[in-house]
């Protein structure tokens, strides 16, 4: 079951998810005021680092997803906790820091 996990804002990701038929999104949420307008502030933690990994673990438990059998594709070292949480981490056009870790841990690396 594909899931989009991103630090990006939900309203930016939803069109892509809809095009791909992906129904589960974990992302950064924006605060909305009483008029229904975005305030410019996050409505909770930004979906990065340990928070992203924790959210993924909660969703996996809820949907009965085996993280040991799951894949995560990431380009940034801020996703290290999430990559460590799955059985099949993949670095895609990674930052130098992520590339170094991926090489050391023998993770798959895809680059342009």
| pLDDT for residue 45 is more than 90 | yes
Looking at the fold, whether 6 and 34 belong to one and the same domain comes out as yes
Q: Tell me whether residue 96 is in a domain.
A: yes
Asked whether residue 7 falls in the same domain as residue 43, the answer is: yes
Residue 54 lies in a domain: no
pLDDT of residue 112: 79
**Residues near 55 by beta carbon (within 8 Å), at least 6 away in sequence:** 5, 26, 47
Q: Which domain holds residue 39?
A: 1-47
Using DSSP's 3-state secondary structure scheme, residue 90 falls into strand
Element (H, E) at 80: helix 80-84
Question: In whole angstroms, how far apart are CA 67 and each of 11, 39, 83?
Answer: 26, 35, 10
Q: Is residue 61 part of a domain?
A: no
Q: What's the chain's length in residues?
A: 112
Tell me, yes or no, whether 38 lies in a domain.
yes
Q: Is 5 left (phi over 0), alpha (psi -120 to 50) or beta?
A: beta
Task: Count structural domains, the chain.
Answer: 2
- DSSP, collapsed to helix, strand or coil, labels residue 76 as coil
State whether 41 and 5 are in the same domain: yes
Q: Each residue of 63-104: pLDDT tens digit?
A: 999 999 999 999 999 999 999 999 999 999 999 999 999 999
62 in a structural domain: no
Shared domain for 1 and 36, answered yes or no, is yes
Residues 77 and 110 in one domain: yes
- Residue 43, domain member (yes or no): yes
């Amino acid at each position: 079951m594909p899931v989009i996990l991103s630090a990006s804002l939900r309203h930016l990701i939803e069109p892509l998810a809809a095009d791909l038929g992906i129904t589960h999104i974990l992302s950064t949420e924006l605060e909305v005021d009483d008029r229904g307008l975005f305030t410019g502030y996050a409505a909770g933690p930004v979906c990065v680092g340990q928070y992203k990994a924790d959210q993924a673990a909660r969703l996996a438990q809820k949907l009965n997803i085996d993280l040991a059998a799951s894949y995560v594709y990431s380009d940034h070292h801020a996703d290290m906790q999430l990559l460590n949480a799955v059985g099949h981490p993949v670095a895609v056009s990674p930052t130098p820091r992520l590339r170094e870790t991926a090489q050391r841990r023998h993770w798959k690396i895809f680059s342009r």
